[in-house]
Amino acid sequence: MLKKAIALSAGVLMLSGCATPTRYVDPAADDGPVAMTMDYRDFEKAATEAVEDMLASGAVVNPNGGRYIMVVSRITNDTMQRIDTDQLTKKIRVSLLRSGKVVTTTAVGLNGAEDEMTMRARELRNSEEFDQSGVQKKGTLQAPDLSLSGKILQRNHKVGSEQQVEYYIQLSLTDLASGLAFWEGETPIVKRGSNSSVSW
Amino acid sequence: MKVSLISLFLILALVVGGCATKPETNASVERQELKVDPEILYALTVSELFEDRLPQADGSSLLQVQFAVDVHSNADLAWKVTWFDDTGMTVKGVGEGYRKATLITGQTRYFRATAPHSRVASYQLHLREPQ
């Protein structure tokens, strides 16, 4: 019995010794293996292409000066994975904000405000508990000029003994005054790998 | 007496101030616009490198860089542009990662990148082979 316990302990120790150590990955120098699913490098590629194309097209430049106000609309996830589309839109928002051309409103959204505090803070109006000079006045919120919407699609194919997974990241930037799409872009991300790899 | 003492003190202060070490404001090594790692040189030659400023409707302009490579041998390429403002400080782009491309022998591939902000004044393009 004791011999068995010792052998088992030794086996566990040996296996844990062989395990790959956990390490940090530097996104600026990541040549690591590619997954069949969408990873951060795919979102970065799509966001880079979208932002560079938006800036180069001039679609996000307000000819009257100042910054355009953008709202993030629906980004549909039509893939087999559970994707938080904020992973994509946040990169785009941050980059457009840094460009000095666009600012995103968090006070409006399809499913309510992204930051509900904008409206909650206004509920303090007429409250005797709060110094009213610091409470937000009526008519100060800014309505959006542009809306960012899109879709992430996935298509799977068998290619010989391998499988091919295609992702399409489609984005539109709509001018809310006219309803016209000022900018549209599509980034295809195609991966080919073992049939045993899972893409969901 | 008092006036001459004050004058002497002022002169001394000026002399000492003039000797103070000025902060380093220039780069110690001149930055190359194009950096190609030797490991990838067997596979390609950079045949073109253009830069242009795209005029914007608000009066500003954006730096855009385009380069072409002539491919001698099938290879994978990783490339990245780092952006700098007129003081030489880096300007953040969307991501930090290298962009990847698969090159085929005989091909001439063109790549383009647009600066993330109108204050970008210069750049450094780095080409390397992914590990």
pLDDT of residue B4: 64
**pLDDT for residue A94:** 95
Helix axes A86-99, A40-57, angle to 10 degrees: 40
Residue A166 counted as domain residue: yes
Measuring CA to CA, which residue among A109, A106, A97 is closest to residue A51?
A: A97
Asked whether residue A188 is assigned to any structural domain, the reply reads yes
Q: Do B92 and A100 touch (CB under 8 A)?
A: no
Question: Which of the residue ranges A1-10, A64-73, A90-99, B75-84 would you say has the lowest mean pLDDT?
Answer: A1-10
Which pLDDT band holds residue A20 (cuts at 50, 70, 90)?
confident
Tell me which residues of chain A, numbers 179 to 198, contact chain B at a CB-CB cutoff of 8 Å. none
Q: How many Å lie between the alpha carbon of A16 and the closest alpha carbon of chain B?
A: 28
User: How are strands ordered across the β-sheet holding A102-104?
Assistant: A102-104, A68-78, A146-159, A162-175, A180-194
Host H or E run for residue A97: helix A86-99
- Model pLDDT, residue A118: 97
* Distance to chain B for A3, nearest Cα, Å: 46
Q: Is the pTM of this model over 0.90?
A: no
What whole-number distance in Å separates Cα of residue B91 and Cα of residue B85?
A: 6
- Torsion sign, CA atoms B14, B18, B24, B26: positive
Domain for residue A109, yes or no? yes
Q: Is B58 on the interface with A (CB under 8 A)?
A: yes
The H or E element containing residue B113 is strand B108-114
Q: Which domains does chain B have, with CATH numbers?
A: 25-128 (2.60.40.3230)
Chain segment A139-195, per-residue pLDDT in tens: 999 999 999 999 999 999 998 889 999 999 999 999 999 999 999 999 999 999 988
Rounded distance between C-alpha atoms, residue B5 and residue A113, angstroms? 70
Q: B interface mutation test: which of A90, A95, A190 has the most B CBs within 10 A?
A: A95
Is residue B20 scored above 60 in pLDDT?
no
**Could you give the 3-state DSSP secondary structure of residue A55?**
helix
Question: How far apart are the C-alpha atoms of A17 and A20, rounded to whole Å?
Answer: 8
Compute the Cα dihedral for B85, B87, B92, B96 and give only its sign. Answer: positive
List the CATH number of the domain containing A117: 3.40.50
Determine the distance in angstroms separating the CA of B70 from the nearest CA of chain A, rounded to an integer. Answer: 23
Nearest by CB to residue A52, choosing from B60, B92, B114, is B114
Q: Which residue segment(s) compose the domain that A145 sits in?
A: 36-127+140-194
The answer to whether A93 touches A115, Cβ cutoff 8 Å, is no
Helix (H, G, I), strand (E, B) or coil at A171: strand
Where helices occur in B1-131 by DSSP H, the ranges are 2-19, 38-41
B46 versus B11: which is more confidently predicted? B46
- Give the pLDDT of residue A96: 95
Question: What residues of chain B lie within 8 A of the CB of A99, using their CB?
Answer: 116-118
Which of B11 and A4 is assigned the larger pLDDT? A4
pLDDT at A184: 98
In the structure, what pLDDT confidence band is assigned to residue B7 with cuts at 50, 70 and 90? Answer: low
Buried b (16+ CB within 10 A) or exposed e, B78-93: bbbbbbbeeeeeebeb
pLDDT in tens, A62-85: 988 899 999 999 999 999 999 999
Summarised one tens digit per residue, pLDDT across range A90-137 is: 999 999 999 999 999 999 999 999 999 999 999 999 999 999 999 999
Q: Determine contact: B39 vs chain A, CB below 8 A.
A: no
Query: Looking at the 3D structure of chain A, how many domains does it have?
Result: 1
How is residue A50 written in tokens? Answer: 């979208």
Q: In this structure, is residue A19 part of a structural domain?
A: no
End-to-end Cα separation, chain A, in angstroms: 44
pLDDT of residue A152: 97
> Distance between CA B113 and CA B66 in Å, rounded?
7
With an 8 Å Cβ cutoff, are B97 and A28 in contact? yes
- Determine the pLDDT at residue A13: 57
